[in-house]
Structure 1
């Protein structure tokens, strides 16, 4: 098991713009690396080509899930401006494209917002929210990433574990890195994809592979766990959306995201 920095490490190849990575099996659901983790790997590599220190936006398309193990990332600088750098990165494995992303690097601070239309999700204290198990309900598969990302769901939205989903299409809870490290702009990309698939709260449980995920990091997070809320807008056509917002220990929005996932509905 590698910590986040080790799990997203890379080694430059002799060819400019090519990098070797080793996808860590711990940051995965069964044998499928977590989508947010894959984007963080791409962001780590692409960020090495930028003079701007922080990932501020990333949008990824998931062509085919890779497996844990060796892979190659190709990164390209698109534009280096005064306020931001735009880049493109692709992850390939066995010669096939797996994930492709557009990335923006910039400079974040920890200032208070000038205006905000969001209210931090109201949660019970962290100690009153039991830690989620690495075993999916019914023992269908193992969620290895919950060994490295500590997930504590609000008991009010945990009925799906007993076969009693709320039907509201919502999850909320606490997240922190299990090794005690603080969140940073890159690891927050993992956080937006670390909650249960929203189908579990709608009576449509099971793996929901990500088709596309876009995340926006808003500021440097304060130390400590984050509070996170995921909601669905609509289910249909074999897809569901996840709308994500997370707040730091100072009640400030630190990251937001939207993703589209495939969803197999009950017959």
Structure 2
């Protein structure tokens, strides 16, 4: 089993004209079939941003990534450039390339997160049955069409109320919710939370739109350090049309605090449109 720290590890190769270069080895377990998970790829870029930001701003607080072309598992090159280092945050531009081709690019904000309660919050944790009453999602996709390797390293326990899509009976609400925890027992941190924001099934499945839904753009915000234990995650569809679906995701820690939010636009192939 590939643990998250090892899967996102980087090897420094020096700097040229202000851009720091790192070697990465993309782990095939953090993937859907042969496609690395988008949140995992952003976490690799976040690891580089932390390395160049310094001790004052160790935590990723925001990231906006564009997915140009899906990389494969194996060697890759990550570059990171500090755009601005301020008192409260550091802004970084990062790129992941493979075979000399840019695959993912991101703008990243680094800061210092804490675990205090929010001064005000309009966010209520999604209501879920106890984790023990939610079945663990299988590694094999419905129908055995492909293998979701990510579910070997991230344990996913979906709310039974959303499992109709597995029987060909989606709810039509465009909502998925469930519990997530890292299979090796590690606690969630600001980088692994990016994986959590992209771990649930594509919301199109609950609308009767199955099939691979590749991410085009993904923005995420990490609000605080996560308390130990499993997290609750909810994904909701906004609108589907023009070959795209937008999806909003929220994650709450074991104390019920909102710790991360994400929003992404993904491509979809609608029924009857070829």
Instruction: Sort the TM-score into its range (normalised by shorter chain).
Output: over 0.9
Q: Which residue of 1 aligns with 2:221?
A: 216
Which consecutive residues of structure 2, in runs of 5 or more, have no partner in the other structure?
none
Q: Which residue of 1 aligns with 2:148?
A: 143
Superimposed CA distance per residue, residues 109-162 of structure 1 (whole angstroms, 9 cap, x where no aligned partner): 111111111110000000000000111111111110000000000000011011
Task: Measure the CA separation in 1 of the matches of 2:132 and 2:215.
Answer: 31
| Alignment partner of 1:25 out of 17, 23, 28 | 28
Q: Which residue of 2 aligns with 1:39?
A: 42
Task: Measure the CA separation in 1 of the matches of 2:142 and 2:241.
Answer: 24
Could you say what the CA RMSD is over the residues aligned between the two structures, in angstroms? 0.7
Task: Measure the CA separation in 2 of the matches of 1:14 and 1:248.
Answer: 37
Task: Measure the CA separation in 1 of the matches of 2:219 and 2:143.
Answer: 30
Q: Which residue of 1 aligns with 2:73?
A: 68
Q: Which residue of 2 aligns with 1:49?
A: 52
Which consecutive residues of structure 1, in runs of 5 or more, have no partner in the other structure?
none
Q: CA deviation at 1:15?
A: 4.1
Q: Is it true that 1:244 corresponds to 2:235 in the alignment? A: no
Q: CA deviation at 1:14?
A: 3.8
1:101-250 equivalences under 5 Å are: 101-250=106-255
Q: Which residue of 2 aligns with 1:3?
A: 3
Q: CA deviation at 1:90?
A: 0.3
TM-score by length of 2: 0.96
Q: CA deviation at 1:40?
A: 0.1
Task: Measure the CA separation in 2 of the matches of 1:203 and 1:75.
Answer: 40
Task: Measure the CA separation in 1 of the matches of 2:99 and 2:190.
Answer: 30
Superposition misfits of 4+ residues, deviation over 2 angstroms? none
